[in-house]
């Protein structure tokens, strides 16, 4: 394992820290692949009861790596290796917690929303800013927001790219716990300790049953979102959005 992902295992809890602080822990393919590998190993390891994923440093993750996204097109979207990494993370059977401080944007927010339990620092800055890059969330964030928040608030967030705080995420039911800034990991670890005291089989089946009720009936919606994301990879607006991000200016979209 490289230093992209830091790992620590103690008393039944596997802690995994995203570690690209200079890029705000942006999830490049290598980091996402290492995360999926480590979570699968944790899933298979009898000594691991549950997992906690967090960002090393001040932030959770600022989304997919924009330099990599710049290279992707609609034609190579379906063979993007990140698709498989996301699917492996979504198939993890053991309960896992995301502990969020700081920026938690784009694919970072989607990763947090995949978690079974979500612990957020009050002033964490969450959001789906893909619209500013001429895109939409590609890893189920749009659908997971809609399942909890409903149509109006989801569309407000996804169409404007506006951020929301950890406080909001908790008040709206996206997060299972909120805590003081700087305490997300400790709070998540305290919750993980309580999970370790529980019955593993029953916990896994409870997770399966809730996902069967919430996400499983909506696979067509998840697939449509993924396909739409792939189509947008070849748009002029996506190229303009990424150029504007790099040049630190406001994008001029053409709807092409």
Which residues of the shown chain bind ligand DAK in the complex (CB under 6 A)? 23-24, 26, 62-67, 69, 80, 82-83, 86, 103, 105-107, 110, 129-130, 133, 138-139
Residue 204 Cβ vs ligand DAK, minimum distance, rounded to whole Å: 25
State the catalytic residue, choosing from 130, 140, 146, 230: 130
Residue 194 Cβ vs ligand DAK, minimum distance, rounded to whole Å: 31
Name the region of 134 (left: φ>0; alpha: ψ -120 to 50; beta: rest): left
Nearer to ligand DAK, 23 or 206 (CB): 23
Which residue's CB comes closest to ligand DAK?
A: 106
Nearer to ligand DAK, 209 or 224 (CB): 224
Question: 């916990």: which residue's tokens?
Answer: 203
Nearer to ligand DAK, 63 or 251 (CB): 63
Is 110 an annotated catalytic residue?
Answer: yes
Is 225 an annotated catalytic residue?
Answer: no
Closest CA to 35 of 108, 140, 128, 119: 108
Beta partners for residue 52, in sequence order:
15, 97
Is 101 an annotated catalytic residue?
Answer: no
Task: In whole angstroms, give the CA distance from residue 86 to residue 56.
Answer: 20
Task: In whole angstroms, give the CA distance from residue 137 to residue 141.
Answer: 6
Nearer to ligand DAK, 26 or 38 (CB): 26
Residue 229 Cβ vs ligand DAK, minimum distance, rounded to whole Å: 6
- In order of 5, 93, 111, 117, 173, the CA distances from 170 in angstroms are 27, 24, 16, 11, 5
Residue 114 Cβ vs ligand DAK, minimum distance, rounded to whole Å: 11
Burial of 161 (0-12, 13-18, 19+ CB in 10 A): middle
Catalytic residues: 64, 107, 110, 130
């Amino acid at each position: 394992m490289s230093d992209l992902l830091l790992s620590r295992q103690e008393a039944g809890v596997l802690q995994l820290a995203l570690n690209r602080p200079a890029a705000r822990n942006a999830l490049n393919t290598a980091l996402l692949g290492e995360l999926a590998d480590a979570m699968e190993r944790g899933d298979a390891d009898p000594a691991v009861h549950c997992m906690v994923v967090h960002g090393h440093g001040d932030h959770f993750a600022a989304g997919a790596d924009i330099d990599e996204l710049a290279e992707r097109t609609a034609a190579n979207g379906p063979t993007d290796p990140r698709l498989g990494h996301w699917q492996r993370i979504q198939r993890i059977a053991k309960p896992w917690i995301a502990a969020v401080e700081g920026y938690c944007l784009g694919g970072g927010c989607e990763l947090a929303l995949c978690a079974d339990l979500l612990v957020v620092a009050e002033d964490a800055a969450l959001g789906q800013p893909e619209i500013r890059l001429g895109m939409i969330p590609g890893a189920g964030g749009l659908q997971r927001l809609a399942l909890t928040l409903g149509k109006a608030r989801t569309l407000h967030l996804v169409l404007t790219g506006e951020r929301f705080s950890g406080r909001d995420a908790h008040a709206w039911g996206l997060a299972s716990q909120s805590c003081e800034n700087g305490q997300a990991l400790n709070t998540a670890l305290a919750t993980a300790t309580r999970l370790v005291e529980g019955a593993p089989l029953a916990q896994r089946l409870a997770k399966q049953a809730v996902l069967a009720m919430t996400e499983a009936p909506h696979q067509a919606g998840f697939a449509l979102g993924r396909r739409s994301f792939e189509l947008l990879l070849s748009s002029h607006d996506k190229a303009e959005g990424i150029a504007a991000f790099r040049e630190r200016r406001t994008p001029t979209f053409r709807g092409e």
